[in-house]
Structure 1
Amino acid sequence: MGFEQLAELRDRLRAEKEQVKTESAKPQKRKASQKAKPREQDPTVEAIWRLQKHFPLAFPVNPAPKVPLKEGILKDAEQHLQLLGITAEQLKAGIGAWCRGGRYWAAMTENAPRLDLQGQPVGVVTAAQALHARQQARRQRAEARRNQAKAKAPADDKPVENAAAPAAE
């Protein structure tokens, strides 16, 4: 699952949770305004949304594949903080999150063009950078498998405890 999909899922779950809380208090009118709030509540998601809005060639919207960004893109983007309407910390978090996902690492293939904010090629991905991206993708997949196993482990333990309890009686 890509970053945008995870963020969208999180936002939808938050909105549904809020909807349940306020359903008895306010009818239909309140529900429509809640859909915009989750994006505004997460500064990283807000930063990415603004980058996508102002620089669509460098920060394409899913399902379009991500593109390798120019080295030093953060410094270039910092010059546009006022246009983006976000803080330097939000910008750093947004670009950091953008460059840590599987879609980004998949785009980091050897000799792939690196793009500036306007979508113009300004360099290429080196073999070492492509190797690093593959390693990061493997590491992320392994971590996701470990987390999934940990999440399942407590559920697996409970039936065993329950099965042991009647035998002890």
Structure 2
Amino acid sequence: MSFEQLAALRDRLRAEKEQQQASAPAPAKRKPPQKTKPRELDPAVAAIWPLQKHFPLAFPVNPAPKVPLKEGIFKDAEQHLELLGITREQLKLGISTWCRGNRYWTSMVENAPRLDLNGQPAGVVTAAQAIHAKRQAAQQRNQERRKRAQAKAQTAAPAEQGEAAVEPAVEQAAE
């Protein structure tokens, strides 16, 4: 192809491209990225926040250690539902969630003072309650270990299946 032919081809391709762009609809302007919806707030967390705000000595904010709560704390807190701005069911969920977990169970040692909503001593943790808390903590750790082991096994299983599928093909190729 000569130089003149190449120049003519170039001009023709440019003209075709301009025609396509002229006949095509104008490109839409980019839309600004949509704001992602905030994660749905966990109802238990929504119930715990007002408790921490109004009763910080009984419901300390992490990283402060949790404290053993007075037996019957729910009935005491129930009297403050209007102040807290939550329902009875939300309060029950919040307190039950608060009293579950390693942070709370580690606070349940024998003779540790139990605190009321104002942070005043209102009883002590008994030996039986301390033993129960240790068992609960151990049970939760075991469940977490099992979950991690299962997750690890599930991620390893597809890789092993892939390797197993390759081995017969290698054996057949060797024959």
TM-score normalized by structure 1?
0.77
Compare CA radii of gyration and give the structure with the larger one: 2
Answering whether residue 90 of structure 2 is matched by residue 81 of structure 1, we say no
* Moved segments of 4+, more than 4 Å: none
User: What RMSD, in angstroms, separates the aligned Cα atoms of the two structures?
Assistant: 1.5
Aligned to 1:7: none
Q: Where do 5+ consecutive residues of structure 2 fail to align?
A: 1-31, 170-175
Q: Shift in Å at residue 101 of structure 1?
A: 1.1
What whole-Å deviation, never above 9, does each CA across 1:30-87 have from its counterpart, x for those lacking one?
A: x8xx6xx54x732210111110000000000011110000000011111111110011
Question: SS in structure 1 opposite 2:148?
Answer: helix
Aligned to 1:104: 104
Q: How many residues align?
A: 138
Aligned to 1:130: 130
Q: Shift in Å at residue 167 of structure 1?
A: 1.9
Q: Shift in Å at residue 158 of structure 1?
A: 1.0
Question: In the aligned structure 1, how far is the partner of 2:51 from the partner of 2:112?
Answer: 21
Question: In the aligned structure 2, how far is the partner of 1:94 from the partner of 1:161?
Answer: 44
Aligned to 2:156: 156
Question: In the aligned structure 2, how far is the partner of 1:151 from the partner of 1:89?
Answer: 34
Structure with greater helix share of residues: 1
Aligned to 2:140: 140
What whole-Å deviation, never above 9, does each CA across 1:68-124 have from its counterpart, x for those lacking one?
A: 000000111111111100111111111111100101000000000000000000100
Aligned to 2:50: 50
Q: Where do 5+ consecutive residues of structure 1 fail to align?
A: 1-22
Aligned to 2:69: 69
- Percentage of matched positions with identical amino acids: 65
What whole-Å deviation, never above 9, does each CA across 1:119-140 have from its counterpart, x for those lacking one?
A: 0001000000000000000000
Question: SS in structure 1 opposite 2:69?
Answer: coil
Q: Shift in Å at residue 168 of structure 1?
A: 2.5
Question: SS in structure 2 opposite 1:114?
Answer: strand
